[in-house]
Structures are given as C-alpha cells and as structure tokens.
Amino acid sequence: MHVRNTRRETSFGTLLRRIAGSWQLYVLILPAFLYILIFRYGPMYGLQLAFKSYNVRLGITGSPFVGLEHFRRFLSYYRFGEIFSNTIILGLYKLAVGFPIPILLALSINEVRSPGIKRFLQTVTYAPYFLSVVVVVGIVYQLFSPHYGILTGLIRSLTGKTINIMGTPEAFRHVFVWTDVWQLMGYQAILYLAALSAVPPELYEAAAIDGASKFQRLLHIDIPSLLPTATVLFILEVSRIMDISFEKVILLQTPLNLRVSEVLTTYVYKVGILEGYFDFATAIGLFNSIINLVLVVTMNTIARKWGESSLW
Amino acid sequence: MVKHTSHPSLRSTGADKVFDVVNGLFLTVIAVVVIYPLVYVVSASFSSPGAVSRGAVILWPVEPSLEGYKAVFKYDTVITGYLNSLFYMGVGTFINLVVTMTAAYALAQRELLGRTAIMVLFTFTLLFSGGIIPFYLVVKNTIGLNNRLDMVIPNAMSVANLIIARTFIQQNLPSDLREAARIDGSDDFYFFFKIALPLSAPIIGVLTVLYAVGHWNSFFYPFIFLSSKELFPLQIVLRNIVLMNEMGVDSYQNVEYAARVAGLNDLLKFSLIVVASLPVLVIYPFVQRYFVKGIMIGSIKG
C-alpha cells in the first residue's frame, strides 16, 4: 500500500520533472500555440454566430440564439440555387481540367531525354506559380482589352467581331479555370515528376527488352507509379471544390458576369463584411465549410477502402 | 538508360518515333502558351504609348521607350505601395520565421510532452476553419482594422510550412546531438540559437522564400482589412489601376494633355504589372532549386 503510493507519486513527480526539465521547449512553442489558438481556433469559436442573432452590444456569446433560422433563410433565398450551383460548377470544372493536366505534363516532361530541355521546361512551366493573383488577372485584362488586347484582336480576325471577354458571362468560367491551369500546372507537375524519378530504371529496361513500346511503358509503368501521389492530390483537390479562390473570383468579377461569378465565398464577403450581416454571412460560410469537410472525409474514406494511399 | 538504342531489340520502333513527335509537339505548345503572355506583357511595357494603344505590339517591343516606367514611378500611390509591400514582406517574413522555427524545433523533440496532441490541434486547422466572417471579427477585435499589424500577425505562421520545418529538423538534427549538448551543459535556448538554427540554414532559406513571396503577393488580407490609401500594398494599387482603371485622369485640366495621358495609361498598366512581379521573378531562378526541395519535403507525410 505504502509502496504503491510512493510509486504513483514518483511517476507523477517524474512527469512534472520532465515538463519542468523541458520548460524551455514550451516557451519556444508558445508563440505558435497562441497564434493558432487566437487566429485559427478563435474564428471557430465565433462560428456560433451562425446560430445567433448578432447584436454588437451583447457580443458573440451574449447574442440571442435563433437556431437554424439563418440557414433556412439562405436556403429559401431566391439566389441560393444560382450561387450554390456556380460554386459547384466552377469547382468541378476546375477539378476536371486542373487535375489531369499536371499529370499529363509530368508524364510528357519525363519522356524528354535531354536533361537541359527537361530543366528548361520545368523552370518555364513553374514560373507563373510565383505571380500574384492580381498580376495574373491583370495580364488577362490586358490580353482581352477591348481596345488593344492581342487576344481580342485574334478573336476579331477569326469572327469579325470585337468581344469584350471580361464582360461576357459565358467566358467567365473558362477564363477562371484555364488561367488557373496556366498558373499552377508546372507547380503541381513537380510532385508527379518526383514520383516518376523514383521508378527504378531496370523496370523500363526489362519492359523494353520484352518489347514494350514507349506508350506501353508509360501506360504500365509510369501511370501506376503515379497513383499514390495522384490519390492524395485528388483528395485535396476534391476537398477544395467548395473553396474556390475568393481572391481570383472577386478580381475577375464584373457587374456583367455576376450571374455566373457569384460564389459562396464572394457572397459571404458582400453580405458580411460589406453589408454587416455577420450572423447570416457566418451561417453561409459554415454551410460551405461543412460541405468541404464532408467532402474530404468521404474522399479519404474511399481512398482508404480502395487500398491506395490516403491523407490519414 | 541511354544504352537502350545500342541493343538491337531496343532500337526505337516507328510507334516510338510517333510518340516522341507527338510528345515534342505537346510540350512545345505548352511552353509557348506559358511563355507568350509573359513576353507580350514585358514587350508592351517597353513600347511607346501609341504602339500599345494601337495594339501594334505582337511579340517584341514596338518603338521602344521607357515612358511606361517613368509614368509608373510618377504615381505616389505606386511608390507608397511599393514601400508598404517591402515593409509587410520584411516584417511579416521575420515574424513567420521566428514563430515557425521555434515551434518546429520544439515539436521535433521527443521530450515535449503532448507534442502529438499539439500537432493534431495544429493540423486540424488545415482541414477546417471558421471562415471569412469569424476570422474578420477576431482580427477586428484583437488588432483592429486598418492597422499595419493586420498584414503580419493574422498570418504569423503557416501550419504546412511548420510541418516542412519540423520534418527537416527531425531528419537533420538527431536527438543524440541535443543529448550530447545537454550533457555539456547547454540548455534548449542555447542549443536552439547556437546549433539548431545554423544547421537549419537550408530550410530557413526555403521558408524565407515561401513566406516572402506569400507576403509580396498577398491580396486577401489588405483587401478585407485595410481601407486607407497610405497603408495599401502594391497588389491593391495594382488592382485599382489595372482592373478598376482608377488613374485620376480627371485631375488633369488640359484636355489635350488628358488624351495623351489616357494613351499613356494603357502603357502604364503593362509597366506596373512588370514592376509588381519583378521582385519574385528576379529571385525565382536562384531559389527554384530550394523551392522544389521545399515542396518535396512538404509532400512527405508528417
């Protein structure tokens, strides 16, 4: 009895001593810890606004509870269908184009024999990743300027018409997705190229001796070796379907293309920050985040069952 | 690998030649599509106002001139924006490095009790967030809107970068080293500053670039947090001039002069785009190698 008690005390004492002994480690992690607590978990605490009728005087915690009122209001709002489908369509379009192209690019670069050309292609396709969204959209505006834009000129010589692309609603989704591909394909291809460089060369040699053509080697060696990387990136991409870049949409948005360019995040910004309906806007944002989270978890579960790699 | 062709059965077949040609064409198209807009913008920026307004620039500068650049730097807002951007980038990156490296070092030590719990707590924020409005309210209530600190505190650390740094420290700073230093009487602070930091130079380089580019290109934070012109970084100035056409032509009294200025304004947009991307494009070739390494490390599951 007495002995057991001491042992427990000792182990508790050891624990305390271990913490005390490494107190400096806790000091070192403190800034990051506080930062995450205030600026990452603070907003999560603020999510309760979605279920309250916000009153500045009463504060977040003191404001009266209204349950799912804001969600109901948003779901019955006449623009709900439009905003929701814009978000989904843009996300799916981006996934359909933005996911396979970097794979294609990596497979293609991997076939180049000259290391110099290989490096050149990587450097070039990777460069736009460093440009800001404003610069990319700025370039698009210049290329499609109705007065002097080189692409407007090209369209004019093909169709005989001068089209203001930035004011054409039908063009918005294409411009959004393809500029994204332009900016990101080189960056995403790097991960696939890394996976390809890990394939043992003997595999190719053996296949070649067996008479496999280059295309067959690509199909049976390269593509399977990309699958784990592709799975992880696919899960990540799917989880971003609802998370369309706010910056880029707001920059490409004009009063003329609003019908197709208003997505959940831009609407949240307008209702919340511009108009000050914090509670309602928080509810819409939460609606968006929950769909997102459900998407990641679902995709990850599928990936795990499927036997390939997963996020966790 | 190169020896393939010497082996009789490995000589490339007709199908392989077609494959190579198609592949070469595909890559040529990609390279042209990626490079052309950049070359066009740079060329236009070095052309004359007239040539740009007429749409005469196709590939190389037409009637080369530096008028666009002269005009850009006559704008007070551009200069203020440039200085603000440099300030936010410098201070912001420094804060990022301090917060990230200290946390990465601590989280790399097995001795840190509860480090798995802390890691889970941190990583969860990559999957779920409170969203724009609650975040906006937190910043408003802690730092306050329209404050320079809004550009450097609410993004003081990226969890993805923390994972990269922690992985690096775990791989390159074996715990034996710290044990040995401990026996020699050095504590964690001493070890962190005198040994861990110098040995982490490569990862600090990667983080510096990642964070600095992030700050330089940042648009969302200034867009929602800042309202006074004196605080605007270059990206906001760029957006106002290139996308919103806010160039203050009205302030010119003389009509003739205003027309000339309007022509110059087309050119100025090109020059401003170049000026705003210059810092990142200049460092790009030097840091690309490290950058790729950073992405690779980051892609390793932590």
Looking at the complex, report in whole angstroms how far the Cα of residue A24 sits from the nearest Cα belonging to chain B: 6
What is the rounded average pLDDT of the residues A16-21? 78
Share of chain B above pLDDT 70, in %: 86
A28 → closest Cβ in B34, B38, B102: B102
Q: Does A281 touch chain B (CB under 8 A)?
A: yes
Q: Mark yes or no for CB contact B238/A134 under 8 Å.
A: yes
Which sequence spans correspond to the domains of chain A? 12-47, 77-306
Q: Which pLDDT value is given to residue B136? A: 96
Report the half-sphere exposure of B122 (CA within 13 A, side-chain side).
26
Q: Does A57 touch chain B (CB under 8 A)?
A: no
Tell me which of A98-107, A237-246, B122-131, B146-155 is least confident.
A237-246
Q: Which pLDDT value is given to residue A42? A: 95
Asked whether residue B42 is domain-assigned, the answer is no
Identify the bridge partners of residue A52 per DSSP, sorted by sequence position. Answer: A65
pLDDT above 50: residue A286: yes
Structure confidence at residue A22 as a pLDDT band (50, 70, 90): confident
B80-94: string of b/e by CB count within 10 Å (b at 16+)? bbbebbebbbebbbe
Which of B133, B267, B270 should one mutate to test binding to chain A, selecting the residue with the greatest count of A CBs within 10 A? Answer: B133
What is the rounded average pLDDT of the residues B119-136? 92
pLDDT above 80: residue B84: yes
Q: Which pLDDT value is given to residue B2? A: 43
Structure confidence at residue A72 as a pLDDT band (50, 70, 90): very high
Q: Which pLDDT value is given to residue B6? A: 44
Share of chain A above pLDDT 70, in %: 95
Q: Which pLDDT value is given to residue B122? A: 95
Asked whether residue B39 is domain-assigned, the answer is no
Q: Give the count of domains, chain B.
A: 1
Is the Cα dihedral A182, A237, A241, A134 positive or negative? negative
pLDDT above 70: residue A293: yes
Residues of A in contact with B109 (CB under 8 A): 22, 25
Q: Does A15 touch chain B (CB under 8 A)?
A: yes
Q: Which pLDDT value is given to residue A247? A: 93
Residue A247 burial (10 A CB sphere; 0-12, 13-18, 19+): buried
Looking at the complex, report in whole angstroms how far the Cα of residue B25 sits from the nearest Cα belonging to chain A: 10
The mean pLDDT of chain A is: 89
Asked whether residue B278 is domain-assigned, the answer is yes
Asked whether residue B15 is domain-assigned, the answer is no
Q: Does A294 touch chain B (CB under 8 A)?
A: no
Whats the size of chain A, residue-wise? 312
Asked whether residue B264 is domain-assigned, the answer is yes
Which of A34, A40, A52, A204 should one mutate to test binding to chain B, selecting the residue with the greatest count of B CBs within 10 A? Answer: A40
pLDDT above 60: residue A4: no
pLDDT above 50: residue B253: yes
The mean pLDDT of chain B is: 86
pLDDT above 90: residue A203: no
What is the rounded average pLDDT of the residues A90-110? 95
CATH 2.60.450.10 fits A77-306, yes or no: no
Q: Which CA distances in Å does B122 have to A34, A43, A144, B117, B244?
A: 11, 14, 43, 9, 39
Task: Find residues 212-251 of chain A whose CB sits inside 8 Å of chain B.
Answer: 213-215, 229, 239, 246-247, 250-251
Asked whether residue B25 is domain-assigned, the answer is no
Tell me which of B140-149, B202-211, B256-265 is least confident.
B256-265
Q: Which pLDDT value is given to residue B252? A: 53
Q: Mark yes or no for CB contact A251/B219 under 8 Å.
A: yes
What is the rounded average pLDDT of the residues A87-94? 94
Which of A130, A219, A239 should one mutate to test binding to chain B, selecting the residue with the greatest count of B CBs within 10 A? Answer: A130
Calculate ∠ Cα B270-B271-B272, nearest 5°.
Answer: 90
Tell me which of A54-68, B119-133, B243-257 is least confident.
B243-257
Residues of A in contact with B242 (CB under 8 A): 134, 138, 141-142
- Structural domain boundaries enclosing B143: 69-301
Structure confidence at residue B291 as a pLDDT band (50, 70, 90): low
Question: SS in 3 state form for chain B?
Answer: CHHHHHCHHHCCCHHHHHHHHHHHHHHHHHHHHHHHHHHHHHHHHCCCHHHHHHCCCCCCCCCCCCHHHHHHCCCHHHHHHHHHHHHHHHHHHHHHHHHHHHHHHHHHCCCCCCHHHHHHHHHHHHHCCCCHHHHHHHHHHHCCCCCHHHHCCCCCCCHHHHHHHHHHHHHHCCHHHHHHHHHCCCCHHHHHHHHHHHHCHHHHHHHHHHHHHHHHHCCHHHHHHCCCHHHCCHHHHHHHHHHCCCCCHHHCCCHHHHHHHHHHHHHHHHHHHHHHHHHHHHHHHHHHHHHHHHHHHHHCCC
Question: What CATH number is given to the structural domain containing B213?
Answer: 1.10.3720.10
Structure confidence at residue B4 as a pLDDT band (50, 70, 90): very low
What is the rounded average pLDDT of the residues A188-204? 88
Q: What are phi and psi of B267, to 5 degrees?
A: -65, -40
Residues of B in contact with A19 (CB under 8 A): 113
Q: Does A293 touch chain B (CB under 8 A)?
A: yes
Which of B6, B59, B132, B216 should one mutate to test binding to chain A, selecting the residue with the greatest count of A CBs within 10 A? Answer: B132
What is the per-residue pLDDT across B178-208, written as a single tens digit (0 to 9) for each? 778 878 878 888 888 988 899 898 889 889 9
Structure confidence at residue B301 as a pLDDT band (50, 70, 90): very low
